Homo-oligomer: A and B are copies of this chain.
């Protein structure tokens, strides 16, 4: 299952011939990752991972490749396996194997057995630092419980859902090394949800439908971080935005920001385009489809397909057909058509290009800096799940500002004293 180039590392990729295409994409993504560029310079100088084994289980994308290269340049013996059988970019994998001699295990569409075997390869790497997205590698290490498990200094975890499960494990005394939940950094939250999802969701709608957004009425279910980002961008493209919410404080904020706030039942009759980002299920269901205008567009940008009752839509319609890539038409008995994008799955991930490299830059800079921190401090941490520290958040933001040549002010000594004593001041 594993191939080996003479005098080189083992790997398992689809086709080395794809390497050149992958290389161009990796390099292009790196242009949009100035924070990671800054981290890389720092790592080259400091060699924080010298002689350490690092294993990563991530989606194999151009951005991930740049994280791998950055860690390697910091001295790490790095190994990468795929975090899903379906997400590997085979050209990127090929380039990592061929041009960077990096042990990489991942093939798009691989079977479950292959996928497991690839994770086994990562376990066998005996990592001292673990980088994970979805808890596959952390779980495998605990399940197979190798002799050297006690040597693991710590892990980073990308997924917020996994962070919750790991907290349960820690509470029950099952966690064997500290984990830092990268999803809980402020920089990541702002970039992923507000700016990332905002742009990528509208972009996916325009790509799949070809519609002009200006002049449309656009309904957003949910005014959390993603909802705010999408509302901001939809207005920026000329839509009249309606927000629905179950939380009155959020509803009030939407209202004060100049959006219309209605119940979904009222909004259903008005919308040209509907986007769900509520974090809940069936926020648009059968009672709403009946009120939809002809030609209404329906999509989800929340994590779960459950936000839209797609089964209810199918059963309410008397026929359905695909009319464009990622666009399915449902014909209602009264002659109206409803268009569902990407089968209700996250439209920006499925039908668009996912997060821009500039957004992943923030995530992966967090992973890299947390990994460096774990080398230094992991041994002294408890076997628990930690958030990213404010200091690290600041460092990520600083590197981004430096990359953009933006200078900000520093507190003077007098100002620091003033702040320390501020309760004294009028």
Contacts and interface: CB of A to CB of B under 8 A. Distances in A.
Contact of A263 (B236, B324, B407): B407
A246 B411 contact: yes
Nearest to A164: B423
Interface in A388-426: 393-394, 397-398, 400-401, 404-412, 414-415, 418-419, 422-423, 425-426
A98 interface: no
A237 interface: yes
Given A256-B214, A304-B425, A233 B237 contact: yes
Taking residues whose C-beta sits less than 8 angstroms from the other chain, chain A's interface range is 35 or more
Query: How many copies are assembled?
Result: 4
Contacts of A261: 401, 406, 408
A199 B251 contact: no
A211 interface: yes
Interface string A157-191: 00001001100100000000000000000110011
7 contacts: A27-B323, A203-B207, A210-B353, A262-B407, A280-B418, A293-B405, A306-B418
Interface of A: 24-25, 27-29, 31-32, 161, 164-165, 168, 186-187, 190-191, 194-196, 198-199, 203, 206-207, 210-215, 232-233, 235-240, 244-249, 251-253, 255-266, 279-283, 293, 295, 303-306, 323-324, 327, 337, 353, 356-359, 393-394, 397-398, 400-401, 404-412, 414-415, 418-419, 422-423, 425-426
